[in-house]
Amino acid sequence: MLAALFIGVGWCVLAYYSQVSAAKQAPAPAAGVREDMDPLPAAASVSGVNPILQNPELPSGCEVTALTMLLNYRGFSVSKEVLASDYLPYDNDIYYVNGTRYAANPWRTFVGEPHTQRFGCYAPVVVKTANRFLAEQGSGLQAVDLTGAGIEACYEKVARGEPVLVWATIGLADPESLTQYGWIDKESGKWFHWVTGEHCYVLTGYTPATVSVCDPLEGEMVYNRALFEQRYEALYCQAVSIEPGAGSSGDKLAGAPAAP
């Protein structure tokens, strides 16, 4: 188990830094693998995560919709529309020069805007969005970027009763058919490869053969675990959790009053 864990984590970190090296665009991923080395339970699930659908209001807003599920689970009554409009940083300035598309970098901001058919964002942007909201509420909770820590770290969170926001592809479709899809990063001037079908889920359970998720497009779904892990790796092993910050208790609702 430990050998497999470290191999998996090594692959995630390699994939993550390959992306960062190519674009010089993201902060360091979460350090560490698992907080303890106790055997991971063979199966676990989190109850009480209410599925929220992104459509019709946010056709490109899977990330902020999944974040809304996490925050609602933690006791906040905030809506996906409020998070999208008031807290999510985005850059809708997408343009073409001689047929070449130029756009922002999804490691830094949402590319496009979630109310239209645009693109999306990656884990650091979701963390920034969540922590803006949590700070405004005076909460003791914080969003944590688990990117690079590996899927076992996500399963560990679930086993402890914490749902996790993870990146994969829509319907776990193969993203490799359009590997040249992307644009020039306006800030760096370098080519940015956008993984086709990028999508966010809230991971709520796993067994040896399956994973359970809340899908912003489909609701509660069960997928093949091995395929899910492949798509998770294709999206650079990105994940985000909402956790008690330093000095707060571990209770589910610690520091989390309902939003007005």
Give pLDDT tens digits for 168-205. 999 999 987 656 789 999 999 999 999 989 999 999 99
Q: What is the pLDDT of residue 29?
A: 47
Half-sphere exposure of 41 (CA within 13 A, CB side): 14
| Least-confidence region, from 28-32, 129-133, 177-181, 208-212 | 28-32
Instruction: Note the pLDDT of residue 31.
Output: 41
Query: HSE of 4 in the Cβ direction (CA atoms, 13 Å)?
Result: 6
pLDDT, averaged across the chain: 86
pLDDT of residue 38: 76
pLDDT of residue 146: 98
What is the domain partition of the chain in residue ranges? 2-244
Q: Is the pLDDT of residue 259 over 50?
A: no
The model's confidence at residue 154, banded by pLDDT at 50, 70 and 90, is very high
Cβ pair 60, 114 in contact under 8 A: yes
What is the rounded CA–CA span in Å between residue 12 and residue 123? 14
pLDDT reading at 216 higher than 50: yes
Nearest Cα neighbor of 148 from 44, 6, 254, 22 is: 6
According to DSSP H, which parts of 75-181 are helical? 80-86, 123-136, 151-159
Q: Rounded distance, CA 78 to CA 210, Å?
A: 30
Output the pLDDT for position 252: 41
Residue 10 has pLDDT above 80, yes or no: no
pLDDT digits (tens, 9 = 90+) for 83-108: 999 999 999 999 999 999 999 999 99
pLDDT confidence tier of residue 247, bands split at 50, 70 and 90:
very low
Q: What is the pLDDT of residue 12?
A: 64
- Decide if domain 2-244 falls under CATH 3.90.70.10: yes
E-state strands within 39-163: 44-45, 90-91, 95-97, 100-103, 110-111, 141-145
Does the pLDDT at position 113 exceed 80? yes
**If you search the block for the tokens 């999208």, which residue do you land on?**
84
The predicted pLDDT at position 36 comes to 53
Q: What pairing do the DSSP bridges indicate for beta strands 210-215 and 219-224? A: antiparallel
- Strand blocks (E) in 173-218: 182-185, 191-193, 198-206, 210-215
pLDDT tens digits for 20-75?
Answer: 444 434 444 454 444 555 789 999 999 999 999 999 999 999 999 999 999 999 99
Write down the pTM of the prediction: 0.84
